Amino acid sequence: MQRMNSEHLRDLLKVYFIMGSVNCRKAPVKVLQEAVAGGITMFQFREKGTGSLSDEARLNLGRRLQKICHANGVPFIVNDDIDLAIALDADGIHVGQEDTPALAIRQLLGENKIIGVSAHSFAEAQQAIADGADYLGVGPIYPTSSKEDAKAVQGTAMIEELRNKGITIPLVGIGGITLQNVAPVLTAGADGISVISAIAGAEDITTTARGFVYKVSLSGT
Ligand SMILES: Cc1ncc(COP(=O)(O)OP(=O)(O)O)c(N)n1
Ligand SMILES: Cc1ncsc1CCOP(=O)(O)O
Ligand SMILES: [Mg+2]
């Protein structure tokens, strides 16, 4: 099996929606269906934080969300949990610096799964690539209330630094991204944006997701 082509992955990362039950104001299945209708290009199941589901309930929700993704050609990525990713046969996993190292994940999952890694510095980005990461998540770009242990806000400077220093692999910005502040993230060199609250918490989820698709298309990436 082969690693996913980088140019294809860049396209899939354009509007990368992340969500778990705690981020939703209505049924998570409904939230995802509405986001898919708006054209999200990738989805990450991040069942994390106070009040999140565990064990069987978590697995069952993951299954239901994965079904929606598969029916619509949207890759389904699991956050953090390698056992859940394997149990669901997810399309990939996203890990941070405090999670199972990407090298071990690559050895466990093989070549045909997508592995995303969070990077907050050039050194972390280099290591992630050496370990077999397919894409990087860089942030928080702006202030966020969706991650309790978020690192310091970076603005778009880290994305610019990574690109200027020759990091070419697919990359998304994350943290506090809204329809109003998405453009500088793309101008800085991101292939796409990752969003929790601006989509999951929106009054009109489909229209908001569609708005992100439109804004990203304007950047010409
Ligand atoms: C696309 C993307 N980028 C970054 C993150 C953050 O991952 P991590 O630093 O491991 O933090 P948690 O999400 O696990 O709290 C992400 N999940 N997705
Ligand atoms: C998971 C994560 N990693 C860095 S910031 C963040 C939270 C992003 O959520 P939001 O889009 O609501 O700011
Ligand atoms: Mg993590």
CATH of the domain at 91: 3.20.20.70
DSSP 8-state class, residue 118: E
Which residue, judged by its Cα, is nearest atom 15 of ligand 1?
A: 147
**Domain enclosing residue 65, as ranges:** 6-218
pLDDT higher than threshold 90 for residue 2: no
Is residue 120, in this structure, part of any structural domain at all?
yes
146 in a structural domain: yes
47 has binding-site annotation: yes
Segment 68-92 shows an average pLDDT of: 98
Query: What's residue 219's pLDDT?
Result: 86
Give 56: exposed, middle or buried? Use CB within 10 Å, 0-12, 13-18, 19+.
exposed
- Which residue lies with its CA nearest to atom 1 of ligand 2? 147
Using the mean position of ligand 1's atoms as its centre, give its distance from the Cα of residue 188 in Å. 20
Residue 128, domain member (yes or no) = yes
Per-residue confidence (pLDDT) for residue 170, from 0 to 100: 98
pLDDT of residue 160: 98
Asked if residue 122 lies in contact with residue 105, where contact means CB atoms within 8 angstroms, the answer is no
User: Token pair 């082509």 is at which residue?
Assistant: 5
**Planar angle of CA 180, 7, 165, nearest 5 degrees:** 70
Domain count, the chain: 1
Burial of 54: CB neighbours in 10 Å, binned 0-12, 13-18, 19+: exposed
What atom in ligand 1 is closest to the CA of residue 95? 10
How large is the average pLDDT for residues 105-134?
Answer: 97
Q: Is 167 annotated as a binding residue?
A: no
- Residues 6 or more apart in contact with residue 42 via CB below 8 angstroms: 12, 13, 15, 16, 17, 74, 75, 77, 192
Span 48-56, average pLDDT = 96
Residue 23 CB–ligand 1 contact under 6 Å: no
Q: Mutate which of 76, 94, 172, 195 to test ligand 1's pocket (most atoms within 8 Å of Cβ)?
A: 94
115 lines ligand 1 (CB under 6 A): no
Residue 80: which region, alpha, beta or left (left: phi > 0; alpha: psi -120 to 50)? left
What residues line ligand 2, using a CB cutoff of 6 Å?
139-140, 144, 146-147, 150, 174-177, 195-198
CB 92 near ligand 1, within 6 Å: no
Q: Is 217 annotated among the ligand-binding residues?
A: no
pLDDT single digits (tens) 162-215: 999 999 999 999 999 999 999 999 999 999 999 999 999 999 999 999 999 999
Q: Is 120 in the pocket of ligand 1 (CB under 6 A)?
A: no
Nearest to 156, CA basis, from 119, 116, 184: 184
Task: Pick the ligand that lies closest to the CA of residue 117.
Answer: 1
- What residues are neighbours of ligand 3 (ion), with CB under 5 Å? 80, 96, 99
Q: Is residue 1 part of a domain?
A: no
Question: Closest Cα partner for 159 from 193, 134, 132?
Answer: 193
Complex ipTM more than 0.90, yes or no: yes
- The answer, yes or no, to whether residue 157 has pLDDT greater than 70, is yes
pLDDT at 4 over 80: yes
Across all residues in the chain, what is the average pLDDT? 97
Whether 77 is in a domain gets the answer yes
Q: Which two tokens stand for residue 7?
A: 């140019």
Positions annotated as catalytic residues are: 46, 118, 147
